[in-house]
Structure 1
Amino acid sequence: MAVAQPAAGRMARPSRLRRLWDNLSIVFESRVATVGLSIVMFWLLVGVVSLFWTPYPPNATEFQQNLPPNSVNWLGTDHLGRDILSRLMQGTQVILLKTRLPGDTDLVLPGGVAIWGVLGSLVVGSILGLNAGYRGGWWDQGIMQVLDALIAFPRIVLYLVAIAALGQGDLVVILAITVTGAPGVARLVRSLTLDIKTRDYIRAAETRGESPWYIMFREILPNARGPLLVDAMLRVGYAIFAIGTLGFLGIGLPPPDPDWGNMVNEARRNIFVNQWGVIWPSVAIASLVIGLNLFADGLREELSRYQK
């Protein structure tokens, strides 16, 4: 008598945890991606630790001004006598871990300004790119002409226009990053869609009578996630540079929370007296962006190798 073996079938199918580990193992097979991920994880750890502990209150002016690194202030103090290490740790939260909502400084969203800005550009860009690539015709022409017009403007000009119109704030910076990043994402998604929509499984979905929205978001977008993930890592680095640039110009994130660009802007006025106030936040910005770029490059290399 034949006996059904459902347990064997279930054991043959890998669990979600196993599939997650298989995906993560791709990263560790690349030395470049591993080094980049290690740098990013270091700054994430610094941000998480700063949620619960900093050596001193970040905005407290209780030390001598312009001190070099010493046993009390490990990274020195700035021109107002604030501990640089505490402010550097606090600035990591703004970039990667929390977003302050307007009107109430105690109300925050999980996820930093750079993360939300990139997520916004991915959502908007993916919707526009999918419609342009899959529908074609006037959809493609109209969407791409508008996006090409946005790309023609320098990014810093769009940042200044958004901040001048809406004022300073975390959500304004997120909006500016979204608007400037969405055209690039849309062009990438469009190019991927033009290739994927010629595949047989797309024809099969159309034959079944699936709607265009189903095909775009259930058939095309999941098969474009690899290049989009790599692009997202790079865009987080661009967003961090943008936040640093706006902070350096004095029009970025508002006080009281320090951001790295604003720290450089404040310290440059006393650079001949105290260089450490410029060096440490600059190193933080550069190292985090380099880590994201290394992670993205290594991930792209491994994904392309697996696709061959």
Structure 2
Amino acid sequence: MNVFVIIYYTLLLGGSCLAAFYNKRSAFLLLFSLTLVSFILGIVGGVGALRIVAICAGLLALSAMVSYAFREFLVAIAPTNLAKELRTAPLTAGFGMFIIFTYAIAGIFAPWIAPFGEAQIISSAFAPPDETMLLGADQLGRDMFSRVIFGARNTVALALAGTVMAFLLGALAGLLAATTGGWFDQILARTSDVIMSIPSLIFALLMLSIFGGELANNTTSFVLLTIFAGVTGLLVVTAVSERSLLGWIIGLAVLAGVSTSFALGMLVIFNPSEIILVLVVAVIYSPRVFRLTRAVAGNVVVMDYIEAAKLRGERTWYLIRREILPNSTAPLVAEFGLEFCFVFLLIAGLSFLGLGIQPPTADWGSMVRENATLISFGDVTPLIPAGAIALLTVAINFVVDWMLHRSSGLKG
């Protein structure tokens, strides 16, 4: 019998017996179930199947150890209240936070981590991996590993910017609609219904077709950014000023300056085509945020302490900032994570279709499309950026699931 098979089954059975002896029921069930599964797979697939099972089990064990260590690290450095919450986080949430941290480091320090530039041609097309290129070269001879690292900065940064903008617009509109009600609430609700009735991908393709090409320039981007910031800021001015004429004059003056500064800042960070993409994504997903925020805030508005605050003469902005928002934070933070996943996948999908982030900027979606021909030759390199997309999505969902579990009040 193969030495590997003997050692493999000895470790599994020995671990199962130790878990049973020390009355570790969960560990025993896990180890003995793995033993039974391995026994069946070993009969069907032989030693090769057992090696695959062993590798998968080893990777899961390594992931669990990394998750536990990273969670304990966060507990050690976090303030007391946050540390108590983190101590109750499952290993899946710890794994998700570790992956998010890793992607953040890769994105922030991409120029220092990547051995070559994202558009630097250093070899022949589809050159195999060597001591210089860890993942080989793409269809133009650029280092795939460097482009994957830079993709963490470009793809994730655009998705984060789009999510933040969608959340600001949708959350502010939802909070204000739930607080004021009446015709204002109805106008916002019907507008969101119209936008949500159009499939996301079709709406994105339509908007990118309209504002792409020659219209994707600094002037168009500046105007669109100013309009978006103006609409978002107008919601804040409406809540703060209410019926005060002086408040409206001051608010609009401040809004004009903030909108201009925001547009100029975005033009420094992103190029015009990326700004168009971010704005399209923000418009598509802000109605989803609006509907959830309106529903959550609507449940808070009817509470007795809100009525007491109104009787005290508190204004709308005070109610939103001090009463409604603090009691709606948990589901909104969880929704932010979910919206980021949707935005991230949409941007990657648009890039795969050639309408998202444009060359030579490194992007995971376009990298899959550009190197897809390698799959027919048995090369899994194109699956690496696809795996990077999937891994981040799963990691964020792990963290979001934990946050939703906490906000629901469930224990265990």
Give the TM-score of the pair, scaled to structure 1.
0.83
The alignment status of 1:117 with 2:162, answered yes or no, reads yes
Deviates more, 1:136-145 or 1:77-86: 136-145
Q: Which residue of 2 aligns with 1:79?
A: 139
Residue 165 of structure 1 deviates from its aligned partner by 2.1
Stretches of structure 1 that go unaligned for 5 or more consecutive residues are 1-17, 97-111
Match of 2:109 among 33, 49, 69: 49
Match of 1:196 among 270, 290, 300: 300
Residues 76 and 276 in structure 1, CA contact (< 8 A), matched pair in contact too: no
The alignment status of 1:135 with 2:174, answered yes or no, reads no
Alpha-carbon distance between aligned partners in 2 of 1:124 and 1:307, rounded to the nearest angstrom: 33
Q: Identify if the C-alpha distance between structure 1 residues 274 and 73 changes in structure 2 by more than 3 Å, giving closer, same or farther.
A: farther
Deviates more, 1:18-27 or 1:48-57: 18-27
Residue 46 of structure 1 deviates from its aligned partner by 1.5
Match of 1:164 among 209, 222, 243: 209
Match of 2:193 among 148, 166, 172: 148
Residues 374 and 382 in structure 2, CA contact (< 8 A), matched pair in contact too: no
Residue 20 of structure 1 deviates from its aligned partner by 4.7
Match of 1:60 among 105, 120, 128: 120
Q: Which residue of 2 aligns with 1:226?
A: 330
Q: 1:77-97: per-residue Cα shift (whole Å, max 9, x none)?
A: 11211111100001111133x
How large is the Cα RMSD of the aligned pairs? 2.3
The alignment status of 1:243 with 2:347, answered yes or no, reads yes
The alignment status of 1:94 with 2:154, answered yes or no, reads yes
Deviates more, 1:19-28 or 1:235-244: 19-28
The alignment status of 1:26 with 2:130, answered yes or no, reads no
Residue 47 of structure 1 deviates from its aligned partner by 1.5
Residue 27 of structure 1 deviates from its aligned partner by 3.7
Match of 1:179 among 274, 279, 283: 283
Q: Identify if the C-alpha distance between structure 1 residues 265 and 189 changes in structure 2 by more than 3 Å, giving closer, same or farther.
A: same
Alpha-carbon distance between aligned partners in 1 of 2:79 and 2:304, rounded to the nearest angstrom: 27
Q: Which residue of 2 aligns with 1:252?
A: 356
Residues 79 and 270 in structure 1, CA contact (< 8 A), matched pair in contact too: no
Q: 1:229-265: per-residue Cα shift (whole Å, max 9, x none)?
A: 0010111111110111111010111233211111111
Residue 149 of structure 1 deviates from its aligned partner by 1.1
Residues 230 and 300 in structure 1, CA contact (< 8 A), matched pair in contact too: yes
Higher relative contact order (Cα pairs below 8 Å, separated by 6+ residues): 1
Deviates more, 1:224-233 or 1:260-269: 260-269
- Amino acid corresponding to residue 272 of structure 1 in structure 2: S
Q: Which residue of 1 aligns with 2:171?
A: 126
Alpha-carbon distance between aligned partners in 2 of 1:181 and 1:307, rounded to the nearest angstrom: 32
Q: Identify if the C-alpha distance between structure 1 residues 24 and 153 changes in structure 2 by more than 3 Å, giving closer, same or farther.
A: farther
Give the TM-score of the pair, scaled to structure 2.
0.63
Alpha-carbon distance between aligned partners in 1 of 2:348 and 2:114, rounded to the nearest angstrom: 22
Residues 37 and 295 in structure 1, CA contact (< 8 A), matched pair in contact too: yes
Q: Which residue of 2 aligns with 1:107?
A: none
Residue identity over aligned pairs, in percent, reads: 29
Alpha-carbon distance between aligned partners in 1 of 2:129 and 2:148, rounded to the nearest angstrom: 14
More helix by share: 2
- Bigger radius of gyration: 2
SS, match of residue 125 in structure 1: helix
Residues 36 and 292 in structure 1, CA contact (< 8 A), matched pair in contact too: yes
Stretches of structure 2 that go unaligned for 5 or more consecutive residues are 1-76, 217-272
- Amino acid corresponding to residue 30 of structure 1 in structure 2: A
Alpha-carbon distance between aligned partners in 1 of 2:301 and 2:131, rounded to the nearest angstrom: 62
